[in-house]
Amino acid sequence: MNTTTRPNIIGLFKSGELSRRAEEAASLRDDDGCHLCPGQCRAERCEDEKGNCGIGRVAVLSSVAPHFGEEPCLVGEGGSGTLFFAGCNLNCIFCQNHDVSKEPEAWHEAGHHELASFMLSLQARKVENINLVTPSHIIPDILAALVLAMEAGLNLPIVYNSSGYDLPETLRLLDGVVDIYMPDFKFSDPAVADRCAGKPDYPDVAKAAIREMHRQVGDLTLSDRQVAIRGLLVRHLVLPGGNAGTAEVMRFLKEEISPNTCVNVMDQYFPAHEAHRHPPFDRRVSREEYIEARQIAVDAGLRMVEDLG
């Protein structure tokens, strides 16, 4: 993608607004304790106190690489350029990335210049986009790194790949910066969200976050190569026993976001991390459960990610 097709971030960069937003985001982390995300832990991360996310002053990476296992519309020919950030503001009992999101031995601290260098190295490898995985707690670092990367010629779409547990106020700092939002919508029942992630407010928080994301980027649009260039793509992992609340998730997306919302109804649940201690999360999703959940999305008339192109 040529930079001329991304006037928003170019204008933000040239005017100095991107730098100003990086400073504002840093104030949300450093002034009066961290309040970047809905957890509002108020940890003194500027003093390297670890927040509920497990991260202190410096952003931490678990991996950087072109990734070919994402949705086809993100992978294209060159793969999605993932920066997988360690730490998370959720503590899901079935976390399928626990080894890279919560295990310190897999972590690598990365300052702003190094983050920018990683972005540019991925671009040099001809990836389709820069995919920021689990970014909610390190938005100040991302914005500061993007200033440096833009100075050096970064011109790829930016993907914000989150759990959906995001504050609209913080997301507004990304307006014109992020091209593709790809949040999860994990649970629609507060009781399930409390049991699984310790966050009974997750459904309401995710709904507010997805509204703000869609306000910024609209429905998913593709290039003539069928690669995503802008818009919203929502992931929904089917859980055993219908605990993801698929019907309410799809109703919300259709009626309160857009009937053209693109969704990925995912079947890869397995009892990871501590799930074996919490029936029915101690078993895989059955084929029948997945088919039923997917049919709910189809019946809602939503765009299915596997049908794009």
What pLDDT was estimated at residue 98? 78
What is the CATH number for 43? 3.20.20.70
Task: Judge contact between 208 and 237, C-beta under 8 A.
Answer: no
Q: Is the dihedral of CA 15, 113, 228, 213 positive or negative?
A: negative
Neighbours of 103 (CB within 10 A): 13
pLDDT of 231 over the 70 cut: yes
pLDDT of 102 over the 70 cut: no
Task: Judge contact between 146 and 117, C-beta under 8 A.
Answer: no
- pTM here? 0.96
pLDDT-derived band at 101 (thresholds 50, 70, 90) equals low
**Across 181-192, average pLDDT:** 98
Task: Judge contact between 117 and 124, C-beta under 8 A.
Answer: no
Q: How much of the chain, in percent, has pLDDT values that exceed 70? A: 95
**Cα 110 to chain centroid, rounded:** 19
Residue-range definition of the domain harbouring residue 113 = 3-307
What's the pLDDT tens digit per position in 287-308? 999 999 999 999 999 999 999 8
Structurally, the chain folds into a number of domains equal to 1
Of the listed ranges 86-100, 150-164, 203-217, 226-240, the least confidently predicted one is: 86-100
pLDDT of 105 over the 70 cut: no
At 151, list the tokens. 């100075």
DSSP structure string for 20-76: HHHHHHHHHHHTTS--SSTT-----GGGT---TTS--SS-EEEEEEEESSS-HHHHT
Shortest CA distance to 189 belongs to which of 249, 253, 251, 264?
249
**Across 266-275, average pLDDT:** 95
| 224 contact partners, CB below 8 Å, separation of at least 6 | none
Of the listed ranges 50-64, 96-110, 147-161, the least confidently predicted one is: 96-110
What's the pLDDT tens digit per position in 204-213? 999 999 999 9
Pairing mode, strands 130-133 and 80-85: parallel
Residue 84's SS3 state is strand
Round to whole Å and give the CA distance between 69 and 275: 24
Round to whole Å and give the CA distance between 262 and 42: 35
**Across 259-265, average pLDDT:** 98
What pLDDT was estimated at residue 152? 97
What pLDDT was estimated at residue 159? 98
**Across 179-186, average pLDDT:** 98
Round to whole Å and give the CA distance between 264 and 161: 13
Shortest CA distance to 41 belongs to which of 188, 154, 199?
199
pLDDT of 5 over the 60 cut: no
pLDDT of 67 over the 50 cut: yes
pLDDT of 117 over the 70 cut: yes
pLDDT of 309 over the 90 cut: no
Burial 203-218 (b: 16+ CB within 10 A, else e): bebbbbbbebbbebbe
Instruction: State which H helix or E strand residue 8 sits in.
Output: helix 7-15
